[in-house]
Amino acid sequence: MQKIIQSFVKVFDLYKPHISVFYQESIYLKPPYVEAIKKKRQMYKEIIFSVIQEGIDKGEFRSELPVEITGMSILGMVNWSYKWYKRDGGKTIEEIGEIYVDLILQALLTDKQKKDAITQPYLLKNQMAVD
């Protein structure tokens, strides 16, 4: 999940002008392009959902969280970044990615998994304690 979120967020830094134009002008796309985009979005959504389900199946993610709502929440949170992210803002894209990862993992992980040494490097409170 950490790698997915970090790479997802970096897209907004790399392609912000393109993404902004796309969201504003996408209503003018011809049907074949709309279908191609829908297909890609569905594939990405399914990847997110499958990672969440895998985490639940392994007992690492909380089982009481519905996969679809959780996945759509993640997609919505990160996708909205294009509206407010600025390269010269207070945080770098990497720092924003770390914050998103922390928010998402703090919500998803079981209490036991939050304490696991494998998870610790991805949670901000632990990074701050080291700094």
**What is the CATH classification number for the domain harbouring 17?**
1.10.357.10
Domain count within the chain: 1
> Nearest-CA neighbor of 70 among 97, 91, 45?
45
pLDDT of residue 101: 96
Residues 23, 75: Cα–Cα separation, whole Å: 15
Q: What is the pTM of this model?
A: 0.85
Q: Do residues 52 and 108 touch, judged by C-beta distance below 8 A?
A: yes
- DSSP codes joined into one string, 13-71: HHSHHHHHHHHHHGGG--HHHHHHHHHHHHHHHHHHHHHHHHHHHTTSB-TTS-HHHHH
pLDDT tens per residue, range 58-73: 999 999 999 999 999 9
pLDDT of residue 126: 57
pLDDT tens per residue, range 95-126: 999 999 999 999 999 999 999 999 989 999 75
Judged against a pLDDT cut of 60, whether residue 130 lies above it is answered with: no
Q: How confident is the model at residue 37 (pLDDT cuts 50, 70, 90)?
A: very high
Judged against a pLDDT cut of 80, whether residue 128 lies above it is answered with: no
Domain with 95, as residue range(s), is 2-130
> Nearest-CA neighbor of 51 among 98, 4, 113, 110?
4
pLDDT tens per residue, range 13-33: 999 888 888 888 888 889 999
Q: Do residues 127 and 98 touch, judged by C-beta distance below 8 A?
A: yes
Residue 128 one-letter amino acid: M
